[in-house]
Amino acid sequence: MSLSHCKDRDAAEKVPGGERSAKSTVLETGAAMTQDLSPLKSICAHLNAFHVYASDPRRVVEANHYCGHLTEDVRQCLLYDSSSPGARLIGVEYMIKPHLYESLPQDERRLWHSHVFEIKSGMLVMPQPSALVAQGLWDKAETSEMTEIIKLYGKVYHLWQVDRGDKLPLGEPQLMTSITAPNQIQGLEAMMDERDKKFPGCDWRKKKELRASMEEPNIHPDADYTWKK
């Protein structure tokens, strides 16, 4: 496989179809140089965490979130199964501030989840972009970002059930939710250990310590409905 088609490397065994042609590569490069890709340029943060299916919380999926702010109160994220160039787009997540969440009807509020446990446990991370960034400085920047996200409510749908080995995005979108307690998922710590190996400087235990004194917001009783049914 030629270097010009390196974007296919980690997707080749997971997605049907032949290796991208030289023509496709040239067209893609030309489009990237000439087209306005403004919506994608608004992405300003890479987050990593685990989601569970609202219909079957035993199923856990790791998701890389690439997020941008629409306003100070609304964020939107594209979700991928990895952080590599050949990653599959598996879903979307929206995050909103409490005053917007509280304005929603109850049936809608039940579709949203909190981020408190994700953050306080060290599960939600913002992977360090480069080894050239000092670890201490990155820890401070990440912790500062988490003090904002901990207040938000999220609604997430996965479009591609990669955990069951689907080669294509099959079936209806699946509502997902967050993990809200350590005993909900068997082997969660091992999952986080394995995840941390992918990102230099990532240590969920250290992050848990750094966030121990972080103020926790009150979670609305309608949120995290999967665990209350």
Q: Other C-beta atoms within 10 Å of 87: how many?
A: 18
- What whole-number distance in Å separates Cα of residue 28 and Cα of residue 183? 46
Contact of 63 with 91, CB cutoff 8 Å: yes
Residues near 112 by beta carbon (within 8 Å), at least 6 away in sequence: 96, 101, 104, 153, 154, 155, 223
- Below-50 pLDDT ranges, the chain: 1-6
User: Where exactly are the structural domains of the chain?
Assistant: 41-227
Q: Quick one: pLDDT at residue 42?
A: 80
Q: Quick one: pLDDT at residue 126?
A: 94
Q: Quick one: pLDDT at residue 11?
A: 62
Contact of 117 with 90, CB cutoff 8 Å: no
Q: What is the pLDDT of residues 34-46, one digit of tens each?
A: 677 787 778 889 9
Q: Quick one: pLDDT at residue 12?
A: 59
Q: pTM, whole model, 2 decimals? A: 0.86
- What whole-number distance in Å separates Cα of residue 168 and Cα of residue 166? 5
Q: Quick one: pLDDT at residue 107?
A: 98
Q: Quick one: pLDDT at residue 1?
A: 34
Per residue, the 3-state secondary structure of the chain, as one string, reads CCHHHHHHCCCCCCCCCCCCCHHHHHHHHHHHHHCCCHHHHCCCEEEEEEEEECCEEEEEEEEEEEEEECCCCEEEEEEECCCCCCCCEEEEEEEECHHHHHCCCHHHHCCCECCHHHHHCCCCECCCCCCCCCHHHHHHHHHHHHHHHCCCEEEEEECCCHHHCCCCCCCCCEEEECCCCCCCCCCHHHHHHHHHCCCCCCCHHHHHHHCCCCCCCCCCCCCCHHHCC
- What whole-number distance in Å separates Cα of residue 148 and Cα of residue 77? 15
Q: What is the mean pLDDT of the chain?
A: 89
Q: Quick one: pLDDT at residue 18?
A: 62
Q: Quick one: pLDDT at residue 5?
A: 43
